[in-house]
A = this chain, B = another copy of it.
Amino acid sequence: MNEHSRGSALGPTGAGELFQLLRDGHPRTRAQLALETGLARSTITTRVDELMGLGLVLPVAEAASTGGRPPSQFALNPRARVVLAADLGASHATLAITDLTGIVLAEHSQRIDIAAGPVAVLTWLAETTMSLLKRLGLGECDLVAIGIGVPGPVHFESGQPANPPIMPGWNGFDIPGWLGRILPVPVLVDNDVNIMALGERATNFPTVEHFMFVKVATGIGAGLVSGGRLQRGAQGIAGDIGHVRVGRGGDIQCQCGNSGCLEALASGPAIASSLRAQGLEAAGTTEVIDLVKAGNTMAIQAVRQAGRDLGEVLSTCVSLMNPSVIAIGGSMARAGEHLIAGVREVVYSRSTPLATEHLRIMPSASAAHAGVLGASALAVHHALSPSGIAALSSQ
């Protein structure tokens, strides 16, 4: 019976519920709010006053008068508060302070070592957050939530990494609990590919209901949006396509303990390894991309083949999920059109004509920024939810 949402569920209608209407940015009068909600005018007045008290809503230019005193209009104040958005990779991190519409106000990127463990990395994160706030002339009280992407599986409800293979020391670590003692705001933690999917979609495909973001870098993973919602799966590991077996994989060993995995054939390190076996100098992803950009035929062929391997897995994903857009990002996407060409070659030949008729397969447009944009969206979404606003009101 859950195949659709059940229309507008009722519940006690606080200021937070009213605010959901104003999140679209359109100004409304009290009368319009009363009409749209069915709430009494007196209730609307109380709720609007509460939201103005929090600074979340501001009066804006007067609406056209219908005679008598012109009614005041109210709209979301995007600069009322800020969020911290963090995209933590294995060896690199980007932190950003954004406003409530996801606009980046200040940003900092640097090399990190995720394997240094949660205390070292999160201490650095908290200190950097404070200095970014200071740079903007803001204080801790302006921060309303934190969104973090990490390079491994996460139990989303608790914010704890779940057996992340490249994050030693992080398994089961209570990121929201630990960080919340330094920065006392809600902390949302998700897998890095999931936040990239959220960011890419929020920025470039806000109306696409069935969307897939694929990251090809040291690892390979996907973030899935079905029916307009990010799908995390039963254990929070939906989209974990790096260890799907690929046809030409044969007995190529993967670090997961299985053989023939997509990641063992088509990741940046896997391509570099295949080029070294052919006598080229390619320590990792960066050198592969340099070779491709220099026009090296062997490197171009290897990247194209990696695209075909990825396409083999994605053609099953297309049959299963029937998305309308697949965006491909991650450091290997910088190799240009060759990777995508390989993907398209296989997906368009293998998937059913009905599934590919309107399917677009394209490079990520948000590129390196997809992660922080998604982490911001995650944090803002929580902060502006009815329960988030109720928490603000009670402070």
The interface stretch among A14-22, A87-95, A301-309 is A14-22
Find out whether the CB atom of A385 lies under 8 angstroms from the CB atom of B3: no
Task: Pick the residue among B7, B36, B315 that contacts A386 (CB under 8 A).
Answer: B7
Find out whether the CB atom of B17 lies under 8 angstroms from the CB atom of A7: yes
Closest to A241 in B: B319
For the complex, is A317 an interface residue (Cβ under 8 Å from B)?
A: yes
Q: Which residues of B lie under 8 Å from residue A226 when comparing CB positions?
A: 224, 226-227, 231, 233, 238
Find out whether the CB atom of B234 lies under 8 angstroms from the CB atom of A209: yes
Per-residue CB proximity of A321-335 to B under 8 Å, as 1/0?
111100000000000
C-alpha gap A7/B388 in the complex (Å): 11
Find out whether the CB atom of B322 lies under 8 angstroms from the CB atom of A236: yes
C-alpha gap A153/B237 in the complex (Å): 29
Closest to A352 in B: B243
The interface stretch among A69-77, A124-132, A135-143, A374-382 is A374-382
Per-residue CB proximity of A268-280 to B under 8 Å, as 1/0?
0000000000000
C-alpha gap A4/B133 in the complex (Å): 28
C-alpha gap A224/B9 in the complex (Å): 24
Query: Given the interface contacts A229-B2, A247-B247, does A238 sit within 8 Å of B10 by beta carbon?
Result: no
New A-B contacts (14) at CB < 8 Å, excluding given A8-B13, A227-B229 = A2-B225, A3-B381, A4-B381, A7-B386, A163-B354, A210-B233, A226-B227, A232-B322, A233-B321, A237-B322, A240-B319, A241-B319, A241-B320, A247-B247
* A-B contact list, 29 entries, CB within 8 Å: A2-B225, A2-B229, A3-B229, A4-B381, A6-B23, A7-B16, A7-B20, A8-B11, A8-B13, A8-B17, A10-B17, A11-B38, A12-B38, A40-B40, A227-B231, A229-B229, A232-B322, A234-B359, A235-B355, A238-B321, A240-B322, A240-B355, A241-B320, A244-B315, A245-B312, A245-B315, A258-B350, A316-B320, A320-B320
